[in-house]
Chains A and B, each alone.
Chain A
Amino acid sequence: AQSVTQLGSHVSVSEGALVLLRCNYSSSVPPYLFWYVQYPNQGLQLLLKYTTGATLVKGINGFEAEFKKSETSFHLTKPSAHMSDAAEYFCAVTKNTGFQKLVFGTGTRLLVSP
């Protein structure tokens, strides 16, 4: 079975500060990992994904994440927060073969203050 743990249901940063959202996964097979963002009353938008290859992946809006197999982590970072980054962020894992349902974490709400 696969699972995702997101540490911190809420993270607060000041505009311009570093954003760090934590994600740890559990998977018995090589995982594919994703970060999604959700704005209020909207669906989920894919920020970035790790499948194979380079472990540091870059996504939209200046976000990036690093896959660390030894730590079973896939933390999301952004060097400088913008007010528009305030949203709910979900980490998700899926298998690398066959049917691919996404297993999500409980989410982290990012709050950005001026």
Chain B
Amino acid sequence: DTGVSQNPRHKITKRGQNVTFRCDPISEHNRLYWYRQTLGQGPEFLTYFQNEAQLEKSRLLSDRFSAERPKGSFSTLEIQRTEQGDSAMYLCASSSGSPRSYEQYFGPGTRLTVT
């Protein structure tokens, strides 16, 4: 069990560019979550996948954001036409699909800086 991994760990991009982040969940976990954390704040929920189906999206996820989880394995989060307000830590978490499993395991995050 190598835990949740995220790549890249850091990304610096210019305003208007597109960026894509990747999350690899714990292998047996079928639930995957994306959160965003800005400086001095707690993480805020963005979106949720159960297997390959995206079942919930936050209002924070504007049209410039898209997330996928092909084949129910890794997930990608893409931000198009980045804005300075997108600068944040993007966290991925996964959990087991068993009914009594409530724990979400977090990856180390991808820190995005938009200049």
Q: Does B29 contact A (CB under 8 A)?
A: no
**Residues in B neighbouring A94, C-beta threshold 8 A:** 102
The number of chain B residues touching the other chain, given as a range, is 20 to 34
Contact A43 to B102, CB < 8 A, known contacts A102-B45, A104-B42? no
Closest Cβ–Cβ distance, residue B25 to chain A (whole Å): 13
A-B contacts, CB under 8 A, total: 59
Closest Cβ–Cβ distance, residue A91 to chain B (whole Å): 8
Q: Does B26 contact A (CB under 8 A)?
A: no
**Residues in B neighbouring A41, C-beta threshold 8 A:** 108-109, 111
Which of B41, B55, B93 contacts A106, CB < 8 Å? B41
A90 adjacent to B33 (CB under 8 Å): no
The number of chain A residues touching the other chain, given as a range, is 20 to 34
B42 adjacent to A105 (CB under 8 Å): yes
**Residues in B neighbouring A42, C-beta threshold 8 A:** 108-109
Hey, what's the 0/1 contact readout for B88-102 against A, CB within 8 Å counting as 1?
000101010000001
**Residues in A neighbouring B63, C-beta threshold 8 A:** none
